[in-house]
């Protein structure tokens, strides 16, 4: 059953020569040529010859990896196409090495009926450069009152259900959602947040918020709701996914739940893995997100949890905002930053190059694991697989700038920063989705 859609295009015929193929699931980490014919990986080996229409890509000193899958994108479509649409979002995703991305339901209108979902699928067939899918809302209008028709939405291809941006405010609602979602065979993704502790919050609560005088969002605000959610999931034996985990306290809760056999998966964003609350000091609204950048001790715990697999996957929480929305005083700015185009570069530079994480583990967390959670076949660079891969020059340095980004918005915390590693080629669903070859 379809749960992703994209526009059609010619199947790729390519010989990717001499790159370091890193596909830990297939047990490959070696310099290999990769022959792609009619959109499929047909052969790996040394000194392969291109087929007759095949373009040859010189990938010496480059990485060839399974393409990435993002479980947490805000496409802003429908409703805020001035910030992003499926064409720009998927261009950004492809430029970041992604081969699939899933959008959250907090659009206008909300994705809470099969009609809206089918409309998005139709738009994706016309515009999306890579396969995209969609979460449907848990409650109608994200109002937290009445469940959506999860049976029909699941049948129409919703990847899962989430009121992301809003928590499921009560234990009773969480319980009903985790019970009823079983009719769809999907899972619920939870934005964990105790609203009574969130009120007016601007940044992580701690010494930095004390010094800056910004209302704090305590780590407790997240971990309390994670705890309640997982207690309900255990009681109901339901599958649940925790969005954008940001605190060490939440990790402790998830660890206990996993040990008890609760069917929980969890994601973490590139910004929570690489930045901390000290970055707020300059009051730049591009560093304002929810959950907020946390303490350095939280950040370190997140990196370790991603390494160990306690956190299953990386997800961007790509959240475009119009320039005029972010060009306001910090306290008045909306939460969120973009991330699709920079995710791999940021994590490669900050974690892999610093030996906090090995490349194979990063590939699993960005590709294999999120694909499995979404119910997709895991992207692979092994023979027989549909070509869902990216070619990255790990030594290329590039500066994040508003004009160079594929996204329609440029609210990135890395704006003006120089990053390592640039995606040179992305093949998604057997087609060339992004190409930046010399």
Q: Which residues are catalytic?
A: 317
Of the pair 164, 205, the CB lying nearest other proteins is at 205
In terms of residues, how long is the chain? 438
Strand partners, 23: 28
SS3 at position 240: strand
Whole-number minimum distance, CB 106 to other proteins, in Å? 24
Confirm or reject binding of residue 216 to other proteins (CB under 8 A): yes
Question: Per rule CB under 8 A, is residue 213 in the interface with other proteins?
Answer: yes
Minimum CB–partner distance for residue 368 and other proteins (Å): 39
Nearer to other proteins, 126 or 328 (CB): 328
- Could you report how far apart the first and last alpha carbons of the chain are, in Å? 39
Query: Residue 379, interface with other proteins (CB under 8 A)?
Result: no
For residue 409, which phi and psi values (nearest 5 degrees)? -110, 165
Q: How far is the CB of 46 from other proteins (least distance, A)?
A: 55
377 class by beta-carbon count within 10 Å (0-12 exposed, 13-18 middle, 19+ buried): exposed
Q: Is residue 283 involved in binding other proteins (CB under 8 A)?
A: yes
Q: Which residues contact 368 (CB under 8 A, 6 or more apart)?
A: 24, 25, 66, 378, 379
- Which span (27-35, 52-60, 321-329, 402-410) binds other proteins, by CB under 8 A? 321-329
| 251 alpha carbon, distance to own chain's centre | 19
Among 8, 27, 324, 438, binds other proteins (CB under 8 A): 324
Q: How far is CA 248 from the centre of its chain?
A: 20
In the chain, DSSP finds a helix count (H) and a strand count (E) of 14, 18
Nearer to other proteins, 195 or 327 (CB): 327
Q: Is 284 in the site for other proteins (CB under 8 A)?
A: yes
Query: Which residue of 106, 113, 209, 286 would you call a contact of other proteins, by CB under 8 A?
Result: 209
For the window 328-357, what string marks contact with other proteins as x by the rule CB under 8 A?
xxxxxx------------------------
Site for other proteins in 285-314 (CB under 8 A): 285
- Cα separation of 52 and 386, whole Å? 20
Angle between helices 219-236 and 171-180 (to 10 degrees): 40
56 is a site residue for other proteins (CB under 8 A): no
- What is the token pair recorded at 347? 């994590």
Stretch that binds other proteins, among 55-63, 112-120, 255-263, 279-287 (CB under 8 A): 279-287
Which residues in this chain contact other proteins in the complex, by CB under 8 A?
Answer: 202, 205-216, 218, 282-285, 324, 327-333
């Amino acid at each position: 059953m379809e749960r992703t859609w994209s526009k059609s295009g010619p199947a790729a015929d390519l010989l990717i020569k001499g790159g370091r193929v890193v596909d830990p699931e297939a047990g490959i980490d070696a310099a290999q040529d990769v022959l792609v014919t009619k959109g499929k990986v047909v052969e790996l080996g040394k000194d392969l010859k291109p087929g007759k229409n095949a373009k040859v890509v010189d990938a010496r000193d480059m990485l060839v990896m399974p393409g990435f899958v993002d479980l947490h994108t805000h496409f802003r479509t429908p409703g805020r196409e001035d910030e992003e649409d499926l064409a720009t979002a998927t261009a950004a995703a492809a430029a970041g090495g992604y081969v699939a991305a899933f959008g959250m339901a907090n659009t206008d209108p909300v994705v809470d009926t099969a009609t809206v979902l089918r409309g998005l699928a139709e738009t994706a067939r016309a515009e999306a450069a890579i396969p995209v899918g969609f979460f449907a809302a848990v409650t109608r209008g994200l109002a937290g009152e009445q469940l959506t028709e999860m049976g029909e939405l699941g049948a129409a291809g919703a990847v899962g259900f989430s009121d992301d941006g809003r928590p499921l405010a009560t234990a009773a609602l969480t319980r009903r959602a985790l019970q009823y979602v079983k009719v769809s065979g999907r899972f619920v993704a939870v934005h964990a947040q105790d609203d009574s502790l969130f009120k007016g919050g601007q940044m992580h609560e701690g010494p930095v918020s004390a010094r800056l005088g910004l209302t704090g969002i305590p780590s407790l605000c997240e971990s309390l709701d994670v705890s309640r959610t997982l207690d309900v999931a255990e009681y109901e034996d339901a599958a649940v996914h925790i969005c954008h985990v940001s605190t060490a306290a939440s990790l402790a809760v998830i660890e206990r739940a996993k040990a008890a056999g609760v069917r929980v998966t969890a994601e973490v964003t590139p910004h929570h893995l690489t930045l901390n609350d000290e970055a707020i000091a300059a009051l730049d609204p591009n560093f304002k997100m929810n959950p907020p950048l946390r303490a350095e001790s939280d950040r370190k715990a997140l990196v370790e949890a991603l390494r160990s697999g306690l956190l299953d996957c990386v997800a961007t929480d790509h959240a475009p905002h119009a320039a005029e929305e972010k060009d306001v005083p910090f306290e008045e700015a909306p939460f969120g930053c973009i991330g699709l185009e920079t995710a791999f570069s940021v994590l490669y530079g900050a974690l892999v190059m610093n030996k906090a994480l090995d490349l194979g583990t990063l590939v699993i967390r960005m590709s294999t694991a999120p694909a499995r959670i979404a119910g997709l076949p895991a992207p692979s660079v092994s023979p027989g697989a549909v070509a869902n891969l990216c070619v990255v020059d790990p030594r290329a340095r590039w500066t994040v700038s508003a004009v160079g980004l594929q996204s329609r918005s440029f609210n990135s915390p890395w704006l003006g920063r120089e990053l390592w590693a640039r995606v040179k080629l992305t093949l998604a669903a057997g087609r060339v989705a992004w190409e930046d070859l010399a």
